[in-house]
Structure 1
Amino acid sequence: MVLAQLPALPVPPSWFPGHMMKFTRMLPALLKRTNVVLEIRDSRLPLTSINRTLEGALKKWRLERGWDPNHPGRRTIAVEACEHIVVLNKRDLVPEWGMEPFRKAIAKKFPHQQMLFASWQRPRDIRNLSEILVNLAKDYPHAMELNVLVIGMPNVGKSTLLNALRNMGIRGPTPKAFQTSANPGMTRALSTRLKLSLDPLVYAFDTPGIMLPFLGRGEEGAERGVKLALIGT
């Protein structure tokens, strides 16, 4: 009796598809024309949503721009802006009482990072972030423009936050620049430059969300995967 061959099972979707690998390889070259890295994380998982895949490139970028390797908060050469700003997005989904203690703890451990909680639904948060970027541009009046690179895991709200920043920084009606979705993976390629401010000139690039290539082994990796799944990344 000859048994019929069963059809092959479908290939499961990759945690780290090709467009993510492509952007990861592009990052060092992109950083050469970047003044501010705006890293977006999810306030509900402020540590688990750290994108450690990109940390090596960011560290090299800072060193090349004159930041002291022995004192991360001190810069020896400052010809142009070079800042790493962490935005903990979706603050409206976490309790207020935990924000300030966490901010102080992170500031103590990572003195080279500016960090703020934000939500695109709170105009005050968007105005605050917009003013930070504009003031950075004003600190370097000889530079023609300030270029911002927005990075983070999938579905942490990068495109939505950029749309809100554009609406805040450009007077008059501004059409929605980037499509957004409740599902991860809407942005799959580096965007064209988006103008966030006219005077001084501030531009931003939206980027595809980059997942961790490897979540970890055993219970630790499983826990990280479940947490990221629960917030939709």
Structure 2
Amino acid sequence: MENDKIRIQWFPGHMTKAKREMQDKMKMVDLVIELRDARIPNASKNPMIEELIQQKPRLIILSKKDKADAAITKAWIQTLSNASTMVLALDIITENITPKIVKAVQTLMQAKIERMIRRGMKPRAMRAMVVGVPNVGKSTFINKISKKKIAVTGDRPGVTKSLQWSKINKDLELLDTPGVLWPKFEDERVGILLAITGAIRDEILPLEEIAAWAMRYLLQHHAQALTKRYDIALCSDPYEMLNRIAQKRGYMRNHEIDEKRTIETFLRELRDDKLGPISWEVPDAV
């Protein structure tokens, strides 16, 4: 897909500190639970996390599965799974996730648990570090699995600022971490997808270009969703499409289109699933 060059970089100071803290704590944990956005499983993968994990077993949680295309999510699960990595797709808000997580952790750590038993030790709780990019649902995940509000949550990036331990039960302890982005997006498409799904603060984004990119993608892959939601005639120009939405909705100011309101509303409706479940990335094998 063609797009004008959209450069997005965001690396607040607390994220540099968080990376150092994560490196220090990694030796204390048995495995890593990595949350990714089911709509963008590749773009929401932090390459720094690959470096930090150091060959530890990993459980990848594809969060917000209700917002993604189910068939594509299933394909992602198959693509991302391997001998040391399990993948689960979850709706963290509505599902009873604790039994699924505990079972997955015990399966991943079975060899270690069996070694403890052979040595005459009572298996202790497995310690997992929870990692992921901002706004992917880490704090919501920890609060849900612990059944109490331990981590601060918010529907915006950058809420968790420090590392926090949470004892879930006799089998599992979790270490929450701030959402960490990396200093430079080598692929500009990654930054765009993170922006569309809300992982980067809107205040620093070129929102008009982001909205146009999203509209161009929807015209190519989800045209029916646009027609159903906005009841407008389709055209190939993403900017004209945004104008048509504004005219249909009456988003006018001083007899001119209110571009700011139109763009902000369009992006909010995308993030709130108003156009239906949409996957913004598809595995190469599909």
Which amino acid letter does the alignment assign opposite residue 94 of structure 1? A
Number of the residue aligned with 2:51: 56
- Give 1:127's aligned residue: 99
The structure having more radius of gyration, on CA atoms, is 2
Q: Which residue of structure 1 aligns with residue 196 of structure 2?
A: 230
CA contact (8 A) 1:53 1:213 kept: no
Worse-superposed segment, 118-127 or 130-139? 130-139
In structure 2, distance between residues paired with 1:29 and 1:45: 29
Query: What SS is found at the alignment partner of 2:16?
Result: helix
**2:42 is matched by which residue type in structure 1?**
L
Match of 1:183 in 2: 156
Q: Secondary structure at the match of 1:32?
A: helix
Does the Cα contact within 8 Å between 1:155 and 1:184 map onto a contact in 2? yes
Residue identity in the other structure for 1:120: I
Task: State the 4+ residue runs in structure 1 displaced beyond 4 angstroms.
Answer: 137-141
* Structure 2 match to 1:114: 86
Is the 8 Å Cα contact of residues 9 and 183 (structure 2) preserved in structure 1?
A: no
Matches within 5 A, 1:54-133: 54-58=49-53, 61-62=54-55, 82-107=56-81, 110-133=82-105
Aligned to 1:43: 38
Q: C-alpha deviations, 1:12-64, integer Å up to 9, x for none? A: x9711121111212223211110110011000100000010121222xx32xx
Bigger Cα displacement from structure 2, 115-124 vs 148-157: 115-124
Give the aligned residue type for 1:166.
S
Deviates more, 1:86-95 or 1:116-125: 116-125
RMSD: 2.2
CA distance in structure 2 between the partners assigned to 1:18 and 1:210 by the alignment:
11
Provide the rounded CA distance (Å) in 1 between the counterparts of 2:97 and 2:90. Answer: 5
Residue identity opposite 2:39 in structure 1: R
Between the aligned partners of 2:62 and 2:106, the Cα distance in structure 1 is 19
Mean CA deviation greater in 39-48 or 95-104: 95-104
**Deviation string for 1:107-148 (max 9, x for gaps)?**
3xx442111111113425443113223554754443433111
> Are the equivalent residues in 1 in contact too, given 2:97–2:145 (CA < 8 A)?
no
Distance 2:151 2:190 in 1: 29
Further displaced range: 133-142 or 144-153: 133-142
d(CA) in 1 for partners of 2:42, 2:10: 19
State which drifts further: 123-132 or 202-211. 123-132
Residue identity opposite 2:124 in structure 1:
M
Q: 2:146 aligns with which of 166, 172, 184?
A: 166
Q: Is the contact made by 1:53 and 1:212 (CA closer than 8 Å) also made in structure 2?
A: yes
Q: Which runs of 5+ in 1 are unaligned?
A: 1-12, 63-81, 168-174
* Partners of 1:120 and 1:126 within 8 A in 2: no
Instruction: State how far apart, in whole Å, the 1-side matches of 2:102 and 2:196 are.
Output: 30
Aligned counterparts of 2:64 and 2:40: Cα–Cα separation in 1: 10
Q: Deviations over 1:178-212 (max 9, x none)?
A: 12100111101111x211113x3x21111000012
Query: Are 1:118 and 1:126, in contact at CA under 8 Å, matched by a contact in 2?
Result: no
Distance 2:34 2:58 in 1: 7
Kept after mapping to 2: 8 A contact 1:189/1:208 = yes
Contact (CA 8 Å) 1:119, 1:126: kept in 2 or not? no
Identity %: 26
The match for 2:174 is 204
- Partners of 1:21 and 1:121 lie apart in 2 by 29
Q: Secondary structure at the match of 2:28?
A: coil
User: Which stretch of structure 1 is more off in the superposition, 155-164 or 144-153?
Assistant: 144-153
CA distance in 1, matches of 2:99, 2:71: 22
